[in-house]
Structure 1
Amino acid sequence: MRGTTVLPGEGNSGLPGEEGVPTHRLEVPMPNALPFAIGTFDTIGPMSRASFPHRHTFHEIVHVTGGTGRHVVDLTGFALRPPNLCFIAPGQVHHWEDVTGLEGSVILFTDDFLLDHPADRHALRGLGRRSWLELPDEAADRTARLVADLDGEYRAGADGFQGVLRALLHVLVVRAARLPAHHPAAAPPVPRTRPGSVAARFMTLLGGPDGSLGSVRACARQLGVCESYLSEAVKESTGRTPGELIRQARVHEAKRLLLRTELSVRQVAARVGFGDPAYFCRFFRRETGASPGDFRRGGGDIHHDHRLESIARARPPA
C-alpha cells in the first residue's frame, strides 16, 4: 500500500460535495500500520456511519449488534434487525438512513491483506452482491466470538498476530458465504454495478489466476470493449481507473509469491507481467516502499508497529 495515506474515517475524498460519488480510501499510514483495522463505529470514525452515499477502495465488514434504521447498499435498503452481518466490496455505494443507537464492529481491509487466502477476494465480492445477512442464533454466537477474537488479536498485537488475524478473517468469510442471503420485502432496484456488467467482469479478471498480468488494452480486448469504455465503466463503478486496479493486483500477487514461494525475484517479475526484473524492482519499491528482497527477508513484516494506535487502544469513557 502506498504512503500518501489517511486514517480510516477521516477526510480524503470520502466527503460529500465533490463531483460524482465520494470515494473513501483506507490508506493507513505506512510504514506504521497494516492494511487492516477493526474497531467500533466510534473508534473507526464518522465515515463508518455516514448518511450520504459514498464508496470505498477497500473491503468493509460490519457486524451490527444494536440500533434501528436502514442500511442502503447499491440502492437496495435493508432494515436493521440485529444481529446482522454486512459485506461492502470495493466500489459499492452505500450509506445509513434514519439510524439511531447504532452499535457493533467495523472491519476494514484491502485486498493486499489477503495474502494467505487470495481466493477470499472472490468470496468477498460475492458476499458484496448479497451484502446483508441476518444471523440465526448459532451463527450469531459464532460470529460474535470470531469478531471478538479479531478485535482482541488486533489490540494485543502479540507475536504472530498478523497471521492470526488473516486466519480468523478467512474463517469469518467462509462461514458467512454459507449463510442464506437476506431479501428485503420490496423488490430491489437494479444495482449500480450488476454482476454481469463490464466493471464486474473486469474485477473478476483481476481476481483470477492470471488477472494481474494483463494491460488495460488486453483486458478491454478480452472483455470485447474499447479501452475508453472500459475506463469509463470501471471508474464509474469503483472510483478508480483500470490501470490503478491492475497495479494494485500486480503488487498483491508479487507480495504473495515473494512470501509464499521460493521463486526468484526474476521469476516473480515474469509471473506478474514484467519482462525486465530491474523495472519490476523499481515498480515494487515505488508501490510498497521496500525492495522485493527486503520485503521477502522481512517476511512481509518490515516495520515495527502495525496497528492504528487510535483504534488499537480503547478510548477512555467520556
Structure 2
Amino acid sequence: MDCSGGGDGDEREAAGRRRREAVPRHDLEVPAPHVLPFAIGSFDTIGPLSRAGFPHRHSFYELVYVTGGRGAHVLDLVHRPLRPPHLCVITPGQVHYWDGAEGLTGWVALFNEDFLLDHPEDAAALRLLAGSPWLHPGVEADALAALFAELEREYGSALPGHAGVLRAYLHILVVRAARALAQEPPQPAGRAAELAARFTLLVAAEGPVERQVAWYARELGVSVGHLHSLLKEATGRTPGQLIRNRQTLEAKRLLLSTDLTVRQVAREAGFADPAYFCRFFRRETGVTPGEFRTGGAEKHHDPRIPSIATPPARP
C-alpha cells in the first residue's frame, strides 16, 4: 500500500519550495540589538546590492524611489521597464532583482519592522503598496522626493533625537505614497500578494491578541494549509511567524514608549502569563524585556555600519 499521498501536486509544491529556498536572503546588518535598524542613501552609497542583478529576497523592507536610469526591475516574476519617477516598495520575503539597469539615480531606504514601532499600522500600508510594484506618484512626486531627501539628511546628521525624526518622516512618506496609490487605476494582484496584504491588515486590526492561525484562516475564507502556503510564497514567513512578529513589535513599542511594568506590558501585548512573555520575548529578540528597555534604541547607533549583509558566494 502506497501511503506517500502527494502525487504531482505535492511534487510541484516541493519543487517550488526548493526554488524559494535556493534564493539568497539578505539581512539588514546591525552589530548590536539596539542599533538603529534603518539606512538610506543613493544607489551608489548603499552599494552594489542596491541594484543586484540576481534574484534575492530580504528580511527587511526596501523603499526605492527612482528618479532616473534605464533597464527594468523584476519583483515576484513581474518584469517592469523603468519609467522614472516611480516608487517601489519591497516587503520582507519578496523576490526581486534588476535587469540591465544602468544610470540609476534616486534613493534607497532600508529598515526592518522594529523601525515601525511608532506606527505599526504602516506595515499593512506597505503591504498594499507592494501590490503595486511601480507606483507613479503623479502630483505627489515632488513631495516624495523632498521626504526622501529629508530622510537622507537627517540620517546623515545622527543628531540627538534623530531616530524619532526619521520615524516621523517615514510615516509621512508612507501616508503620501498611499494617497498616490489611491489615485492610480487598480492593478490585479497575485493571489499570494493579495492574501498577504489582507492577512497583514487583519492582524493589525485585531491587535496583539492571542489568536490561533485557524481563526485567521476562517476569517479570510481559506484553509490553514492554503494560508500557510500563500503567505510563505509572498513573504517567506509562516502565519505563526508573522503573528509573533506583530506581538513582538507591540511589546517593543510599549517597553520603549511607556512606563508600564513588564507584567503590564505582557498583558497589553496579549500574554496572560508574564513568565511566558519573558521567555517569548527573549526567544524572538535575543534579550530580555528589561535588557531591551534599558539598552535604548538610539544609544548605540553608528550610521557608518554596513547596510546589508554580504550575500552568499555565487557559484
Would you say same fold, with TM above 0.5?
yes
The partner residue of 1:309 within 289, 305, 311 is 305
Q: Give the structure-1-normalised TM-score.
A: 0.78
Measured in 2, the distance between the counterparts of 1:293 and 1:179 equals 41
Q: How does 1:28-39 map to 2 (within 5 A)?
A: 28-31=29-32, 33-39=35-41
The answer to whether residue 71 in structure 2 is matched with residue 107 in structure 1 is no
Q: How does 1:84-95 map to 2 (within 5 A)?
A: 84-95=86-97
Could you tell me whether the CA contact under 8 Å between 1:92 and 1:237 is conserved in 2?
Answer: yes
**Counterpart residue number, 1:146:** 147
Deviation string, structure 1 residues 32-83 (Cα, Å, up to 9, x no partner): 6322111222333333222333333321110112211122333433332222
Measured in 2, the distance between the counterparts of 1:228 and 1:42 equals 42
**Counterpart residue number, 2:69:** 67
**Counterpart residue number, 2:313:** none
**Counterpart residue number, 1:170:** 171
- Aligned-CA RMSD value: 2.9
Measured in 2, the distance between the counterparts of 1:279 and 1:180 equals 41
Letter in 1 for 2:210: L
Could you tell me whether the CA contact under 8 Å between 2:30 and 2:306 is conserved in 1?
Answer: no
Deviation string, structure 1 residues 275-310 (Cα, Å, up to 9, x no partner): 221221122233334332343345544x42243424
The answer to whether residue 156 in structure 2 is matched with residue 159 in structure 1 is no
Deviation string, structure 1 residues 6-29 (Cα, Å, up to 9, x no partner): xxxxxxxxxxxx732625343422
Deviation string, structure 1 residues 253-289 (Cα, Å, up to 9, x no partner): 1111223344332122123332221221122233334
The partner residue of 1:273 within 255, 270, 273 is 270
Once the two structures are TM-superposed, the CA of residue 192 in structure 1 deviates from its matched residue by 5.6
**Counterpart residue number, 1:42:** 44
Q: How does 1:224-239 map to 2 (within 5 A)?
A: 224-239=221-236
Deviation string, structure 1 residues 142-190 (Cα, Å, up to 9, x no partner): 3222212111221221101100110111111111111157979xx9786
Letter in 1 for 2:162: F
Higher relative contact order, chain-length normalized (CA < 8 Å, sep 6+): 2
The partner residue of 2:245 within 244, 248, 262 is 248
Identity, % of aligned positions: 53
Q: 1:270 to 1:175 in 2, by over 3 A?
A: same
Q: 1:76 to 1:163 in 2, by over 3 A?
A: same
SS of residue paired to 1:213: coil
Measured in 2, the distance between the counterparts of 1:271 and 1:255 equals 11
- Name the structure where helix makes up a greater proportion of residues: 2
Q: 1:310 to 1:53 in 2, by over 3 A?
A: closer
Q: 1:191 to 1:226 in 2, by over 3 A?
A: closer
Could you tell me whether the CA contact under 8 Å between 1:74 and 1:93 is conserved in 2?
Answer: yes
**Counterpart residue number, 1:133:** 135
**Counterpart residue number, 1:315:** none
Q: Structure 1: which 5+ residue stretches go unaligned?
A: 1-17, 312-318
Q: 1:99 to 1:45 in 2, by over 3 A?
A: same
Q: 1:308 to 1:33 in 2, by over 3 A?
A: farther
**Counterpart residue number, 1:193:** 192
Letter in 2 for 1:309: I
| More displaced stretch, 225-234 vs 30-39 | 225-234
Measured in 2, the distance between the counterparts of 1:170 and 1:44 equals 21
**Counterpart residue number, 1:292:** 289
Once the two structures are TM-superposed, the CA of residue 205 in structure 1 deviates from its matched residue by 2.8
SS of residue paired to 1:240: coil
Letter in 2 for 1:129: G
Count of residue pairs the alignment pairs up: 288
Q: 1:147 to 1:135 in 2, by over 3 A?
A: same
SS of residue paired to 1:61: strand
Could you tell me whether the CA contact under 8 Å between 2:124 and 2:197 is conserved in 1?
Answer: no
Could you tell me whether the CA contact under 8 Å between 2:213 and 2:239 is conserved in 1?
Answer: yes
Q: 1:265 to 1:193 in 2, by over 3 A?
A: same
Could you tell me whether the CA contact under 8 Å between 1:212 and 1:253 is conserved in 2?
Answer: no
Letter in 2 for 1:305: H
SS of residue paired to 2:84: coil
Q: 1:34 to 1:243 in 2, by over 3 A?
A: same
| More displaced stretch, 23-32 vs 148-157 | 23-32
Measured in 2, the distance between the counterparts of 1:267 and 1:54 equals 40
Q: 1:211 to 1:23 in 2, by over 3 A?
A: farther
Measured in 2, the distance between the counterparts of 1:183 and 1:293 equals 46
Measured in 1, the distance between the counterparts of 2:199 and 2:145 equals 34
